[in-house]
């Protein structure tokens, strides 16, 4: 492991949630008030919100923010870039000295989402089998998987999809120190044919 990857275990996500409603600010504030963010570093500016910390908490918090907005039935989009081991990264703004038990795990909101994700293992390596294995695991949980331009399309329950994405990310970064994954999600879309909680 070279010096530039010394911070690789600090994961992060730069994300945005977009409730498509006139009172989008209220949806976001209400969601944030319900999510436990004590195990991540979090900062919001006018473009994105950044969370940093252990992989499991980064996924736990981003999923919880999405779910607390989606449960209101507003049409909401989520876009996140999950990253780990960036050579330009530094060791600050991280909450690594925390336990792994999740702060928002009890969330029993069932929410259908359609999503697209792309995985970018930077620096090469044999990662395709890792991706295929995790996609098969998602399929076994009932997630619908289809190819799309520049991404893989996933449809199903939010918990199943985020669990699968976390596993893909975790296993890939174990092989390729600098790994980036982009995830775009649409919930409660008027063009969705199916919605598990309707």
Which residues does the annotation place in the binding site for thiamine? 17, 49
CA distance 111 to 76: 12
Binding site per annotation, positions = 17, 49
Q: Is 195 in the site for a second copy (CB under 8 A)?
A: no
53 binds a second copy (CB under 8 A): no
Q: Which is nearer to Ca ion, 8 or 188 (CB)?
A: 188
Single out the residue of 5, 6, 9, 21 in contact with a second copy (rule: CB under 8 A).
Answer: 21
Closest CA to 168 of 198, 139, 148, 197: 139
**Which helix (H) or strand (E) covers residue 180, if one does?**
strand 178-187
Residue located via tokens 């949630």: 17
Site for a second copy (CB under 8 A): which residue of 9, 182, 195, 197?
Answer: 182
Among 33, 106, 191, 198, binds a second copy (CB under 8 A): 191
Classify residue 126 by burial, with Cβ atoms within 10 Å: 0-12, 13-18, 19+: exposed
Q: Which of 30, 34, 120, 139 binds a second copy (CB under 8 A)?
A: 120
């Amino acid at each position: 492991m070279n010096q530039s990857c010394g911070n690789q275990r600090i994961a992060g996500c730069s994300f945005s949630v977009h409730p498509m409603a006139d009172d989008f600010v209220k949806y976001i504030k209400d969601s944030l008030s319900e999510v436990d963010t004590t195990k991540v570093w979090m900062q919001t500016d006018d473009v994105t919100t950044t969370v940093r910390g252990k992989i499991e908490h980064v996924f736990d918090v981003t999923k919880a923010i999405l779910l607390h907005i989606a449960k209101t039935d507003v049409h909401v989009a989520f876009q996140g870039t999950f990253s780990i081991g960036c050579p330009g990264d530094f060791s600050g703004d991280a909450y690594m000295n925390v336990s792994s038990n999740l702060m928002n795990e009890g969330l029993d909101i069932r929410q259908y989402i359609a999503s697209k994700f792309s995985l970018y293992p930077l620096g090469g390596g044999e990662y395709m089998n890792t991706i295929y294995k995790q996609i098969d695991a998602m399929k076994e949980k009932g997630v619908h998987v289809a190819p799309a331009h520049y991404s893989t399309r996933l449809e199903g329950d939010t918990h199943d999809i985020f669990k699968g994405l976390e596993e893909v990310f975790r296993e890939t970064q174990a092989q390729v120190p600098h790994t980036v994954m982009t995830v775009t999600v649409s919930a409660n879309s008027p063009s969705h044919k199916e919605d598990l909680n309707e």
